[in-house]
Structure 1
Amino acid sequence: MALRFATPEDAPRLISIYAPYILNTCITYEYTVPSVEEFAERIRSISSKMPYLLYESDGDILGYAYAAPHMTRAAYQWDAELSIYMNEQHHRGGIGTMLYKTLIALLKEQGYYNLYALISVPNDRSIGFHRSLGFEQVGVYPHTGYKLGRWNDLAILEYCTQPQLGHPVPTKSIHDLPKNRIEEIFETMQRVPQTLR
């Protein structure tokens, strides 16, 4: 079993997890399943600065989570938007919590302040998951996305990584973090018993 960074070569297996969310739910607002090449480029682009994590067991990827810029203007550079997708057979096993806690720990090390989750509602499971990790709902974009024959609201949840807001320094790339610190975070998160995650 391994918590690790995703690579472009993981694209086919990650698409197999993501595709049902596209085709059968409003959890993502994409309409069509991306090609392997497109998805691999997404992994490559995100991984150039931000963490893109997955959890693998016996060759099967059980879930993945990543961070992306929340908005693109310079003043938003301390904000990140988080996403997580789990293999449907592995919900409620603690893997999602471990992925998210690892993601949050890495982003804090990188110097991000505000982490956001944008959740199509109703989605009690995702709202509850995020609240259990300390996210708070700070707003709603009403009737924002049209999918599967209906308009959907988008809830905005926020997690602040820093106890006090001050004058921030530029964020670091995930590649600029000391390797031993990344390994320490990975090892710590994987040692926590699943029942406590």
Structure 2
Amino acid sequence: MTLIELGHHQGWNDELEQSQEILGPSRVLGSWLWAIDMGTLTASRAIADAFCIDPQRARLGAPIVDYFPAVHPDDRARFDADVTRSVETGSEFFCEYRVVDRNGATRWLWDRGQCIEMRDGQPLRYLGVVVDVTRSNTALDSIAGHLMAARAITQRTGESMLRYFIDMALHELASRMAAKQKRAARLQHDRS
């Protein structure tokens, strides 16, 4: 069975479509295959680029520890805990975290994987997908920043009606962000 057939067989296409609805403007970077027993992660070119790994090495299976330094220091402990929990329990892996690319830019990634092979109750292989959600997160932050700046101006100028509409927009934005976080938390809970 090929990885594509395996992914389709496990319903990944349906789940990816649902995830795309939740994530909004995002870009699928590709898939990865983690051979735990070999300590290697085989990944697409775009994933390799995000993690500052030579694409040829990633295609052949680079040591998984080579990927970890790209994970943002503030997210590393949570990332490590999620990986450890998934391997110890053989459960699904799900994590949203930041990486710092070769140019020093920070990117937000949504990473999801599932154990596809076990031996004697121990996971041997995980298959996963990485989605770059930077644009989605950046867009919401940018909108909120602009609205807060506009609100401050309306407070200084006494434009109460305009401030009222800005407050409504901020409330709507906060509701959307909370709903997005709630859906992400539900996805994470469902995998437990």
Q: Which has the larger radius of gyration?
A: 2
Larger strand share, 1 or 2: 1
TM-score (norm 2): 0.30
TM-score (norm 1): 0.30
